[in-house]
Amino acid sequence: MMPEMLSLSNSPGIFVGVMLVKLLAVFGVTIFIVAYATWWERKIIGHMQTRLGPMRTGWHGLLQPIADGLKLFFKEDLIPDQASKVPFLLAPLMILIPALITVAVIPFGPDLHIGNFLIPQQITDLNIGVLYIFAFTGLGVYGIVLAGWSSNSKYSLLGGIRATAQMISYELAAGLSIIAIFMLSETLSLREIVSLQQQDLWGVCSFVPNWYIFSQPLAFCLFFITGLAEINRTPFDMPEAESELVSGFCTEYSSMKYALFFMAEYANMTVISAITVTLFLGGWSAPLNIAIFTMVPGFVWLLAKVFALMFFIIWLRATFPRVRYDQLMFLGWKVMLPLALLNVLITGLVVVILQ
Amino acid sequence: MEIIFFYLVAFVVVVSGLLVILCKSPINCALGLVNTFFCLAIFYVMLHAPFMAAIQIMVYAGAIMVLILFVIMLLNLGTAERKRYTQGIVWSAVASLMVLANVIFFLKRGRVTGAEGDITTFMVESVGHTELIGRTMFTEFILPFEIASILLLVAIVGAVVLAKKEV
C-alpha cells in the first residue's frame, strides 16, 4: 500500500496529535533560541571587543537569559499617564506574534514514514508559503508604529515613524528579490523549494547541491540586506538609535512589555535567518551530497545554518556603525530597488533562453 | 467543525467592524479595520482561495492600513466630535441598511459559484488557486491587466509631481 500524506480527513486523531507535537517542538525550540540568542550576542560582541561578556550567572554566564527574564518579570509595569492605553498594551503582542507565526511554514526535514502515513516535518505546507511569510512580516510594522505613537513621547514617535518609512521602503526590494527565486522554482511552496535545491548543481556537478545562492547570488545579498533593514538590526537600527532617540519606539516601556520587544527582535532575527536558509541555502538539506553528510538528520543542518547566519548578523553589529537616515533611504530606493528589478529582468531572460 | 469556526470568525468580524465605527479614537478605529481585513483573509482561506488571503493581508492589512495609520498619527487628531455629525450618521445608517437589503436580495436569488463552468471547486483544489489566477490573468485577461498597470503608473507619476515642488 502506498503511504499517503497524513491529513485531517484520513485520520483526524493521529493528525491532531502529530500537529500538537510539531507545534510544541517548533515553538519550544524557537523560544529557546530566542532566549539564548541574547546570551550569544552578548558573548560574541564581548569577545569581539576583548571583553568576556556575561560571566557571573552559571558557567560562562549560561543562566544569564533566565536571570534577565526574572529581573524584567519582577520590575514594575508602568503605563505612562498620557499614553493611549489599548494600542500601548497591544503593541508588544503585535510585534511578537507575527514574528513567531512565520516559523510555521519552515520545513525542517524530509517526510517521515510512520505506518501507512507520510508525515511532513513542517507545521504546514502552504502552497502560498512565501507569500504567507511576506504577509506576516508586513504586519510586524504595526507593533512598532503603535508602540511609538501610543507612548505619547517625542522619541518614541520619531522611532515609530522612522520604522514605518524604513520597513515599507525595504519590503519592496525584499519582495522583488524573492521573485527571481520563484522564476527558477516555479512554486511558492517552501517544501518544494527545498527539495528542488537538493538536486545536482545546474544538473552537472553531482556533489554540490543546487542551492539558489549559486544561481542567484545578487538576490541573496539583496534579500539578506533588506531582511536586516526589516528587522531593524544594525546597521539599520534607526528606529531605536540609542545615541539620538534614547531607545526609540520602546522608550516608555518597562517590565515584561519591554521584554516582549526584546524577544520580538531576536525572534525576528531567528526567523529571517531561517527564511534565508530555506530560500537560498538549501533549507534542511546537507551542504554536500555525500553519504556522511546526508545521514545527519535535517533539523541539525537547518539549525547549523540558522546559527551560522545569526552569528553573521551579530558580527555585523560588532563591525558596522549605524547608517544615517538619508543614506538608508538612498540605499533602499536608489540602489536596492533598481538592482532587484535588474535581477528579475536578467533571471527572466536567462530562464526564457534556457527553455 | 468548519461551521463553528466560521461563526467564531464571523463574530469577530462583526465586532471589529462595529469597533471601526464606534471607537472614539481614530487609531482604535483603524486597528478595528485591520482586524476586519485580517478576518476577511481567513474567510478567503475557508473558500479555498489562499492566494487572495495572502494578498488581502499583504496589500490591505500590511500596506494600505499602515499608510492610513501613518496619516492619522501625523495629523494628530483628537477624539472625534460626534455631535456635529448626527444628521450624517442617521442618513448613512439608512443608506447602509438599504445596501444590506440589496445584498441579501441578490444573494438569495443568485447561484453559488464553483458548481458550474470551467473552474470548479475540484479544479481549484487539484491545479492550485495561485496557478489558475496566474494563468488566466496573463492569457485571457492580459489587456485589462496591462491597463490596470498603466493606471497605477499614472497614479505614481501624479503623486511624484504633486509631492515635488520643482519637477
The contacts of residue A261 (CB under 8 Å, 6+ apart) are A92, A95, A96, A147, A250, A253
Residue B101 is predicted with a pLDDT of: 92
Residue of B nearest to A130 (CA): B54
Residue A219 near residue A343 (C-beta atoms within 8 A): yes
Q: What is the band of B79 on the pLDDT scale with cuts at 50, 70, 90?
A: low
Q: Which residue has the higher pLDDT, B36 or A246?
A: B36
Q: If we measure between CA atoms, which residue out of A152, A12, A9 comes closest to residue A84?
A: A152
Residue of A nearest to B129 (CA): A127
Query: What is the Cα–Cα distance from A145 to A346, expressed in whole angstroms?
Result: 36
Residue A156 is predicted with a pLDDT of: 82
Residue B39 contacts A, CB cutoff 8 Å: no
Considering only CB atoms, A128 lies closest to which of B54, B63, B73, namely B54
Closest-CA distance, B151 to chain A, in angstroms, reads 19
A130 alpha carbon, distance to own chain's centre? 12
What burial letters (b/e) apply to A255-289, b meaning 16+ CB within 10 Å? Answer: eebbbbbbbbbbbbbbbbbbbbbbbbbbbbbbeeb
Q: What percent of chain A has pLDDT over 90?
A: 1
Assess whether pLDDT exceeds 80 at residue B17: yes
Among A131, A133, A152, A154, which would you mutate to test the B interface (most chain B Cβ atoms within 10 Å of its Cβ)? A131
Q: Kindly report the average pLDDT of chain A as a whole number.
A: 82
Residue B9 contacts A, CB cutoff 8 Å: no
Query: What is the Cα–Cα distance from A269 to A342, expressed in whole angstroms?
Result: 27
Between the two ends of chain A, the Cα-to-Cα distance in Å is 38
Contacts of A139 in chain B (CB under 8 A): 57, 61-62
Q: pLDDT of A1-17, one tens digit each? A: 456 666 666 777 777 88
Residue B113 is predicted with a pLDDT of: 59
Q: What is the band of B80 on the pLDDT scale with cuts at 50, 70, 90?
A: low
Residue B40 contacts A, CB cutoff 8 Å: no
In sequence order, which ranges of B47-141 are alpha helices (DSSP H)? 50-55, 65-75, 86-109, 121-127, 129-138
Assess whether pLDDT exceeds 90 at residue B50: no
Residue of A nearest to B130 (CA): A128
Other C-beta atoms lying within 10 Å of the C-beta of residue A42: 19
Please give the C-alpha separations between residue B57 and each of A91, A114, A134, B27, in angstroms, as whole numbers: 18, 36, 9, 19
CB pairs under 8 A between A and B: 71
**Strand partners of residue A119:** A112
Assess whether pLDDT exceeds 70 at residue B83: no
User: What value, to the nearest 5°, has the Cα angle with vertex A175 and ends A170 and A178?
Assistant: 130
Query: What is the Cα–Cα distance from A211 to A279, expressed in whole angstroms?
Result: 8
Please give the C-alpha separations between residue B166 and each of A90, B89, B161, B162, B163, in angstroms, as whole numbers: 42, 42, 8, 10, 9
User: Pairing between strand A117-121 and A4-5?
Assistant: parallel
Residue B34 contacts A, CB cutoff 8 Å: yes
Measured on CA atoms in the order A215, A221, A222, A226, is the torsion positive or negative?
A: positive
Please give the C-alpha separations between residue A259 and each of A233, A262, B22, in angstroms, as whole numbers: 17, 5, 33
Asked casually if ipTM beats, i.e. exceeds, 0.85, the reply is: no
Phi, psi at A287, each rounded to 5°: -70, -25
Considering only CB atoms, A84 lies closest to which of B25, B57, B130, namely B25
Task: Name residues of chain A where pLDDT drops below 70.
Answer: 1-9, 201-206, 239, 241-243
* A-contacting residues in B 56-95 (Cβ below 8 Å): 57-58, 61-63, 66-67, 69-70, 73-74
Query: What is the Cα–Cα distance from A321 to A313, expressed in whole angstroms?
Result: 13
Considering only CB atoms, B28 lies closest to which of A86, A157, A171, namely A86
